[in-house]
Structure 1
Amino acid sequence: MRNLKFIIAFFLMHCVVSAQDDLDFQKLIGQVDSSEFFSSPDYYTWCSSVVKGEDAKYYMFYSRWLHGNRIETDDPMNYIFNGFSGWCKYSEIALAVADKIDGPYKYVTTVLKSKGPNSSDWDKFTFHNPQVRKFKNTYYLYYISNSYDPTLFENDTKKTKDWAHWLKYNCTQKIGVIKANRISDFIKGKYIKPKDPLMQPDNVKTFEVATNPTVTQGHDGRYYMMFKSRKPNVGNMTFWMAVSDKPDGKFTIMSDVFTNADMACEDPCMWFDKKRKRYYAAVKYYSNSKKLVPQFGALALITSEDGVNWQGAKNPLISMRELKTKDGNIELSHLERPFVYMDEKGQPAALFAAATIKEPSKGGEHPTSEYNSFVVCFKLNENKK
């Protein structure tokens, strides 16, 4: 009898644990309105992150950089940043506002932008990968930036001249944060900005870059950061988990995530789901193995009960590289940088992502709309059949 009770209890416990991982974006995502896409005729638009302000309006922090060829003379090899490639040196973080979660959004101001070649700060050029969070009464804007290190790959004859020069910028990427009590403080430039980066490669566990930051308050009240970096002898980059007692650090690395190339991902947006008692992260799948979802570049869902040990969610597919509209499906070359907006109950209410219809690097100096990038909002509908 005792064994029977144990078996029943074990079975019930297993069912409860399994039932907690029941988030299914396929049941929430409906059609999108192509007239609501957020874009600019002059800039590539990327990396959106949205928060509700103290005025009940919705504020989108996003990355943008100018179309066209680079005309600045601070670097004779600036041509490697022409067009879509310009993000690695010329991306800036801008702010847009809307009355509704799904827009339309209108540009307000640029919050963070390049300080120019004469700056000695660690965040000298690119401002990219913004993710805004509100913890208690403070807004935190996480981002990445870089400088320039002329010594990097200086004698590496295996790399082409252009690629080696690109890496002199790319491999100085670090994670920073600014904070403010009101959205209007970001607009006015009255935010608090630490002198040093929040996370950077330690050359012990992590190498080359620290990018793709996402932060959430966890089950234990501490703050968990997932970010991307390089690990020795691993071909693909991997996510890393770090923890801190404060939203703005100091963060201590706990573990890596998914070092197997079959599960390679990037662009995480992480949150702790109190209802389901587990962590989730929306990611871009960066593998052709189809082990997680059926398509390279599709948006996927991963999960963890403790914030350390991660796996594919029970319902791992968020979206293939396509948009469903009333006029039919739009096939995409890119669908990246997912951001999940949570409602007052801590449940997913909207999914934002950066998208392009055709490969933007082939769009020329003045890309048409098909080659330009835009931000799309999937308003999530709990009643969708």
Structure 2
Amino acid sequence: MIKNILLPSKCAFLLFYLNSLGLPFTLQAQSNTDDYNLTAAMQPVSEENKFYDNDYFNWGSTIIKGDDGKYHLFYDQMPRKHGFFSWLTDGIVSRAVSDSPTGPWKKVQEVLKARGGNFWDQYTVHCTKAYKFNGKYYLYYMSTNSGNMDLTPEQLEEIRHKPWKHDNLRGMLRLNQRIGVAVADHIEGPWKRFHRPIFEPQLPIANQSNNVSVTKRPDGGYLMIIRGDQPDQPFNKIVRMQAVLLADNPIGPWKMQPKPVVINYNSEDPEVWYDTKRKRYYNLYHAFGYMGMITSVDGLNWERAENYKVADKAYKTTDGKIVPVHRYERMGIYMENGKPLVMTAGILTKENGVIDTHSLFIPLKQD
């Protein structure tokens, strides 16, 4: 389980005690720098801070500032005609442009779709995160395939609308989820894809990989957090957990680290970044009811942030309203000049059984 951070006074006493005994200790250094309060930074939103599509469900998104001075949004979409849960079969990633990182946004391009055929990314492109590293653009995404089985249109409809079971077709596509990356020299593309995902699930996670997030390390390497399944669970139960991988290059090879980021605690949608002011990593995720944040000095050993609970399933508007929602997920943090400037999120509402979604862009007060 994630443990609460030690208070500074307790840390100081423990360090003094261990030193007096001549014993080694592994407490994270600089733990007193953990003072970022994302909740206090979140500002009310206006209608311009929402992004909606009549033909698609909009979901998670990431922002890149282009060489043209405009802001480019890479975001996940699912056709409304196939339903929200077609993210596993029919997801695409699109690009929108704005003069501001909080919108309003205008869709300009459909970027990637499933490749079909015998490719590893046969079905869906979803759970995307886009980054610019060293002059190139990297689009990380989840996809899946049906192996040697050719799915009929009727079977695809079944997967789109029937709930997951460990032994049905949706369960099969779920187990085949993997993370891949596409690379481009220009923000408009073209995007080069690869014949294989960038890694296969391995301990400490099992079964599949989804929900990817990447940040540059202060030493120049790269750190990835992904979500998979906890391995010690029965087939008919899912406990989502998070793990960390390291690489010297954004494409990899990515090396899985043995210590989980989050375990024994159902959570997903990690969003990791390095805070240069505080000299530590933060990782934001949703825990099926609220949003939480953890922190690490080295990226390998994680604990609850001092301001761990970030938000319930509701947001504030500029006219003073509190808007409760059914889902508040797929968070992203847009950094500018090394500081968090905007938090993005996928919002799902459910009224009288009818699902709807929009993307949300929350301005963040600068500390």
Indicate whether the TM-score tops 0.5: yes
The RMSD of aligned alpha carbons is: 2.6
Give the gaps of 5 or more residues in structure 1.
Answer: 1-5, 69-81, 152-158, 287-295, 364-370
Match of 2:307 in 1: 315
Match of 1:56 in 2: 69
Cα gap change, 1:83 to 1:29, in 2 (>3 Å): same
1:330 corresponds to which letter in structure 2? V
Residue 341 of structure 2, aligned match among 344, 349, 355: 349
Match of 1:290 in 2: none
1:355 corresponds to which letter in structure 2? I
Cα gap change, 1:259 to 1:359, in 2 (>3 Å): farther
Decide whether the 8 Å contact of 1:224 with 1:307 is kept in 2.
yes
Q: Name the CA distance, whole Å, in 2 between partners of 1:38 and 1:267.
A: 20
Cα gap change, 1:359 to 1:84, in 2 (>3 Å): farther
Decide whether the 8 Å contact of 1:334 with 1:359 is kept in 2.
no
Decide whether the 8 Å contact of 1:125 with 1:146 is kept in 2.
yes
Alpha-carbon distance, 1:139 to partner: 1.4
3-state SS of paired residue (1:330): strand
Identity %: 29
Match of 1:228 in 2: 227
Aligned residues: 328
Alpha-carbon distance, 1:239 to partner: 0.5
Decide whether the 8 Å contact of 2:140 with 2:179 is kept in 1.
yes
Alpha-carbon distance, 1:19 to partner: 3.3
Match of 1:78 in 2: none
Cα gap change, 1:114 to 1:191, in 2 (>3 Å): closer
Report matched runs for 1:82-161 at 5 Å: 82-116=82-116, 119-149=117-147
Cα gap change, 1:160 to 1:91, in 2 (>3 Å): closer
1:180 corresponds to which letter in structure 2? A
Greater shift, 233-242 or 273-282, is seen at 233-242
Decide whether the 8 Å contact of 1:270 with 1:282 is kept in 2.
yes
Residue 324 of structure 1, aligned match among 316, 340, 350: 316
Alpha-carbon distance, 1:359 to partner: 6.5
Residue 242 of structure 1, aligned match among 229, 241, 245: 245
Match of 2:35 in 1: 22
Decide whether the 8 Å contact of 2:280 with 2:295 is kept in 1.
yes
Q: Name the CA distance, whole Å, in 2 between partners of 1:163 and 1:377.
A: 38
2:210 corresponds to which letter in structure 1? T
Alpha-carbon distance, 1:259 to partner: 5.1
The TM-score normalised by the length of structure 1 is 0.79
Is residue 2:286 matched to residue 1:284? yes
Match of 1:42 in 2: 55
Match of 1:266 in 2: 268
Decide whether the 8 Å contact of 1:258 with 1:264 is kept in 2.
no
Decide whether the 8 Å contact of 1:28 with 1:380 is kept in 2.
yes
1:273 corresponds to which letter in structure 2? D
Alpha-carbon distance, 1:323 to partner: 1.3
Match of 2:159 in 1: none
3-state SS of paired residue (2:30): helix
The TM-score normalised by the length of structure 2 is 0.83
Q: Name the CA distance, whole Å, in 2 between partners of 1:314 and 1:135.
A: 30
Q: Name the CA distance, whole Å, in 2 between partners of 1:259 and 1:340.
A: 20
Cα gap change, 1:160 to 1:150, in 2 (>3 Å): farther
2:169 corresponds to which letter in structure 1? H
Cα gap change, 1:160 to 1:173, in 2 (>3 Å): closer
Decide whether the 8 Å contact of 2:114 with 2:143 is kept in 1.
no
Decide whether the 8 Å contact of 1:95 with 1:108 is kept in 2.
yes
Alpha-carbon distance, 1:244 to partner: 0.8
Q: Name the CA distance, whole Å, in 1 between partners of 2:107 and 2:71.
A: 12
Q: Name the CA distance, whole Å, in 2 between partners of 1:223 and 1:15.
A: 20
